Amino acid sequence: MKLTSPLWKQNITRYFRKHWEVARKRVPGDKGEEKYLKERGFTVEEATEFVNEPLRPIERFNVIGVGQKPLPRDETHPDWKERCCHVIKSTDVLVEGLPQALLLTKTVHVSETLPKSIEALVQEETPAHIHQHLKTAILKANIFDSEQKKLPKIHDPDRPAFNFPRLYGITAARRNIITWNAILNILEKNSNEAHKDRYVSQAVDCTASFEKENDLIQIQSPSNVFLSSTKPLSPIQPDSSMTDGIDLPNIHPLKHTISIQKENFYNFDNIYPLKPAAVKAFYPHTTFLDFNTTQVKNLYETPITDSQVKARSLLHAFTVATSFAKTLYEKTVDVLPTPLTVQCIQSDGKTFHFGVLQLNTMSTDGQQGVKNLWYTSPVMQLFENCEYISARPSLEGYNENVYKYLNAFYHNT
């Protein structure tokens, strides 16, 4: 190779490293500083006496309100209990889906259609401008919002090891809350006088604790949007004794607590978001449940089925109804004097599921006796695709029936 001028040039990094290897071995010599200082009366001491001096013990201060350590998760914890409790959280789904949820809550699945009072409201015609407002709200929630945050990682089952580039955009929580608020706004504007009897709450906690066949069970299912009213919904079947002869699903050899996690740290309480003394409209009307696909996952990492989605709606409606019933009545009440009806809507912003629960009893033991009633609809999509196509916002496959069901739930009394 010919020695050209670029080859003669020194690499500054390599040159500095080589220079340091030589210079770091130098031994400092005596230049007379100590003699000079002693001649002028200064005291010179060895530096090693200060370097080897033992360190002072560290004094720890207990600052109230800052940096409090969490309590140890052992038997000394105030929430620790020797008896285990099966806890169902908002991100859990039942492995057996709807049959397990029906058996767990002692509920009868009436049909895949909603009650006649709601179906009658669905048949009513909706003005065209309302659908146009809802389309605009969908575009705003999925495209036009200015939020830009890192989205969850993309996973391809066919290529599990492939690392996709991270995307930025509108998060699922932000998209869902914009959609819910827009839907409620449209419903209130076109409700005539119905909105005067409604009270809207957001992000409220709902917890139901009960005992079933010597098993402690607690369902923690917060409501993203909670709609209450001044009057309770009318019972679908006023005579609750007609459910005595209907059989519950059979999931033998599995138990009703299959796939539900056990915990020793819990508070066996019932939480209803509203207090009768504080709010006039405290009767539960409709509860909106968020289905975030990045958080709600199966225990065994399998895809979530429609049956598990419907089971999640049933558990949420049962949680709201049971917590309210235990607030309104005594905890010893078995069969309710008047059946309690609660409507539930579960959505991820694109797919919607509607369900109606009639709570007849708070007792979940046994296969006989009075049972609860559950009406459900098929899982339906509000739209098929909403994205930019050729640099233009596009909404494809808009389903008008979804708004009709939303309107029917809102106006149902």
What are the tens digits of pLDDT across the range 123-182? 988 999 999 999 999 999 999 999 999 998 888 888 988 999 999 999 999 999 999 999
User: Residues 260-317: pLDDT tens digits?
Assistant: 999 999 999 999 999 887 888 999 999 999 998 888 988 877 889 999 999 999 999 9
More confident residue, 91 or 191: 91
76 token code pair: 């000394």
**Beta strands of 268-334 (E only): which ranges?**
283-290
Domain coordinates in residue numbering, the chain: 89-411
What pTM was estimated for this model as a whole?
A: 0.82
More confident residue, 100 or 16: 100
236 token code pair: 């679908």
- Alpha helical stretches, state H, 155-239: 172-189
252 token code pair: 């033998």
Q: Are 187 and 193 in contact (CB under 8 A)?
A: no
User: Residues 389-402: pLDDT tens digits?
Assistant: 998 999 999 999 99
Please, what is the end-to-end C-alpha distance for the chain in angstroms? Answer: 93
- Helix, strand, coil percent content, the chain, rounded in steps of 5: 30, 25, 45
In DSSP terms, which residues pair with 347 in a beta bridge?
Answer: 290, 352
